[in-house]
Structure 1
């Protein structure tokens, strides 16, 4: 070994030792995943999985959004989802199921890239998929980006070293999620080759978590029951895992659809619970509620008529909106919050509909603003605050943000959609109204 190699190796060891000492002996937290996240909402970019039109009002109660899915996901609908979530009041990060879903645009809009690795699946699920993704990034994605940015002669001169550097930098900046997949009937289990024999006991889960935390340097250990609630079994696994890790965050996902389940998993040792399907259920509910209201009231009712219809026809306590909001630890009154969000969706719908069906009169943004204020006095303030908190331009102009958003809602309801990538993923884009 040359002197230079020996010195380089020694330096790396010193840096690693300093980092380990800071994490284990001191109080330095070097994990880029925030320690205070308690609730993450998973959004599937699949076109059939919609976002509620009032999504800023819902997402202001979560800590972050994870964007990723396994079926019918493309680079295009992933970019579309991130563009829409640029209006969300919380950070959105990317958890791709395929490397080709990662684009220059998603990298710009995502808070970070989260790469999954399955601890109890086939070898393919741990290193094979990552290797395939790394090859795509190294051989295709990064060279294409550099060719676009650099003049031809300069790329030919420095392209290869820059490709290697950029690939390594991308991986160094990524967050790794070490999954323990515990529901063999789930799609996640099928993708990763997990069957009944691979379900881990608390003791074995603890061992795998220690490997992920101390050897693989995974920032997250994710106990995943995927679509079903793990209950006491999951609580035992979480206690064992939480007791074994030092720097990694412990996440739980699967079947969270009420406050009690959230509290139970957090109490068992999860730092964060992840909620998915029940958020998309809210979007489907919005379409159904707005369709019923339009059928009953026409396209241009007054605020009093909207409120009277809602009070007579909708029980907020029994809605998907309330179910989702019950999963969020920070909402004191989920039913009241659900009522406000559903009324906001109706106001946005009826504010935009006249313009969408070709009726002359008040501009859509102005009408929506007036209806929001009338059906719920605090609605404009809440929605504008949520929109500007998530606004990437830093302008802080609440009126402009709300007007712009109302315009996008009108576009979602209209046949003449100027920016489909920003609005077709909204629930009301699926509302069928006679033109």
Structure 2
């Protein structure tokens, strides 16, 4: 069983975006710790299955981040289940989770399910609009959500998602300091376009997630693996 506490770098691939075989091979053989499959729109069971089969050719964890019940399928190593901490819509806190357990609970391996407390810090991104996280959290808000995830709820993962914009380093550093007192793994994602940015966030977050750069700046994205793993 894979342990997210041992990860430092993850590439997030969107089933709704095209990636050719050559680039996919380079991504999967880059030294990244896992491939996270997930997206906010246009994600279907068919394109999830297609991407999973392609990633499965490589010897690294293939993980599904579940954003809808329709995309759930066997075959992934782990399933990350987001609960959105700063949403105004309770469905994204426990509603869909209840429906998933009711419909698929008997088929699921509990050891493959990992709950991640999501804080969406860019209210303009697709994920924020999808989940109703429409208020931009400031540094103190983010610190409070980190405490909620790590100190109170003791979640396995706290995921600070800036999706499409580079995050506030001071807020990331503050969250990292708070979570260092817990067993909660701190994931950072959003706006990383260069190896230097990845290194900067890697100095604070336990795991750095690189997504859009794979499609927009592939050569620089590939450099982020070593940059994160060499950061302190």
Please give the range of the TM-score, normalised by the shorter of the 2 chains.
Answer: 0.7 to 0.9
Q: CA 1:36/1:42 → structure 2, altered by over 3 Å: closer, same or farther?
A: same
Determine whether 1:213 maps to 2:173.
no
Q: Which residue of 1 aligns with 2:77?
A: 111
The residue matched to 2:220 in structure 1 has which SS? helix
Query: Which runs of structure 2 are paired with 1:190-209 in the superposition (5 Å)?
Result: 190-195=129-134, 198-209=135-146
Determine whether 1:84 maps to 2:54.
yes
CA distance in 2, matches of 1:39, 1:199: 26
Query: Which runs of structure 2 are paired with 1:260-299 in the superposition (5 Å)?
Result: 260-267=196-203, 269-281=204-216
- The offset of 1:91, in angstroms, is 1.2
CA distance in 2, matches of 1:32, 1:176: 15
On the 8 A contact 1:227/1:254 being kept in 2, the answer is: yes
- The offset of 1:211, in angstroms, is 2.1
On the 8 A contact 2:15/2:48 being kept in 1, the answer is: yes
Q: CA 1:249/1:56 → structure 2, altered by over 3 Å: closer, same or farther?
A: same
On the 8 A contact 2:195/2:227 being kept in 1, the answer is: no
- The offset of 1:194, in angstroms, is 1.7
2:220 alignment partner, one of 323, 327, 346:
323
The residue matched to 1:35 in structure 2 has which SS? helix
- The offset of 1:173, in angstroms, is 3.6
Unaligned runs of 5+ in 2: none
Larger Rg: 1
The residue matched to 1:121 in structure 2 has which SS? coil
CA distance in 2, matches of 1:226, 1:50: 19
Determine whether 1:136 maps to 2:70.
no
Q: Which residue of 2 aligns with 1:120?
A: 86
CA distance in 1, matches of 2:102, 2:130: 20
1:63 alignment partner, one of 13, 33, 55:
33
The CA deviation string for residues 72-102 of structure 1, in whole angstroms up to 9 with x for no partner, is: 2111221111111111232111112112211
Q: Which residue of 1 aligns with 2:166?
A: 229
The CA deviation string for residues 171-228 of structure 1, in whole angstroms up to 9 with x for no partner, is: 4541111111110100011012122xx3223233222222222443321111111011
CA distance in 1, matches of 2:99, 2:138: 30
Alignment coverage as a number of residue pairs: 225
The CA deviation string for residues 323-367 of structure 1, in whole angstroms up to 9 with x for no partner, is: 2223222599xxxxxxxxxxxxxxxxxxxxxxxxxxxxxxxxxxx
Alignment RMSD (CA, Å): 2.3
- The offset of 1:263, in angstroms, is 1.2
- The offset of 1:52, in angstroms, is 3.9
Give the TM-score normalised by the residue count of structure 1.
Answer: 0.48
CA distance in 1, matches of 2:125, 2:148: 24
CA distance in 2, matches of 1:330, 1:263: 5
CA distance in 1, matches of 2:94, 2:152: 14
1:45 alignment partner, one of 15, 22, 39:
15
On the 8 A contact 2:208/2:228 being kept in 1, the answer is: no
Q: Which residue of 2 aligns with 1:72?
A: 42
Q: Which residue of 2 aligns with 1:238?
A: 172
CA distance in 2, matches of 1:51, 1:215: 43
On the 8 A contact 1:256/1:275 being kept in 2, the answer is: yes
Which aligned runs of 4 or more in structure 1 are off by greater than 4 angstroms? none
Determine whether 1:185 maps to 2:152.
no
